[in-house]
Homo-oligomer: A and B are copies of this chain.
Amino acid sequence: MLMGLLEPGPRSGYELRKALLGSPLKHFSESPGAIYPALRRLESNGWIAPLSEAPAGRGRRDLRLTPGGRAALVSWLRRPVTRDDVVWRLEELALRFAFLDSVLPPTAAPRFLEDFVKETAAYLEELRAFHRANAATMTLTGRLGFESGLALYAAKLGWGRRALRQLRRSPR
């Protein structure tokens, strides 16, 4: 995510943090204790680098994406959507999708959505089968709680289909 935010141009860690604080969607950490160490790790991987080599001690430090970092970002965004992504990392998928068209060609987004819709539809069918088989044995709130998961995946599937239609109507 940090590299995706650096893609349009260099920014400081503080600005990256402000960008996260500015979004009302809170699926990822925005604490300095997570962000600054993460930036150091990206730097020691050679994926980002300070804009000016001057040591500068403390104080503002602008960071840019290196060519290697861009390649790593691209390979993250290119990863096919798998069942495991849908089951375990649903919000990371939304994040990947959001960065898609600032880094990859416009064909990438519909391809992503096709995979997403396919995997989500299959998984939702599994959830419904489980519900049919086990609803009778569950407690009342246990069953309703499970149905909250069903509602979540049904909504994500609906979103994926709508988004796909929209992309096809306006392919830009």
A108 (CB) vs chain B CBs: closest residue: B141
CB atoms of B155 and A94 under 8 A apart: no
Distance of A167 Cα from B94 Cα, bound (Å): 33
Contacts of A100 in B (CB 8 A): 141
User: CB distance B94 to A145 under 8 Å?
Assistant: yes
For chain A, the bracket of interface size reads 35 or more
Interface string of A128-160 (1 = CB under 8 A from B): 001000000001111011111101101110110
Query: Closest CB-CB distance, A50 to chain B, in whole Å?
Result: 27
Contact residues in B for A94 (Cβ distance below 8 Å): 145, 148-149
A25 with B142: CB separation less than 8 A: no
Please report whether the interface of chain A is mostly helix, strand, loop or mixed according to DSSP.
helix
Q: What mask results when residues 85 to 101 of chain A are scored 1 for a CB within 8 Å of chain B, else 0?
A: 00110000011011111
Whether B109 lies near A140 (C-beta < 8 A) is: yes
Across the interface, which residues of B come within 8 angstroms of A166, CB to CB? Answer: 144
Q: Give complex CA distance A50, B94 in Å.
A: 43
Within 8 Å by CB of A98, from B97, B141, B158, B159, lies B141
With a 10 A CB-CB cut-off, give which of A97, A109, A148 has the most chain B CB atoms: A148
Question: Min CB distance, A68 to chain B, in Å?
Answer: 24
Enumerate 6 A-B pairs (CB-CB under 8 Å) in ascending A order. Answer: A24-B123, A25-B127, A97-B141, A147-B159, A151-B158, A152-B156
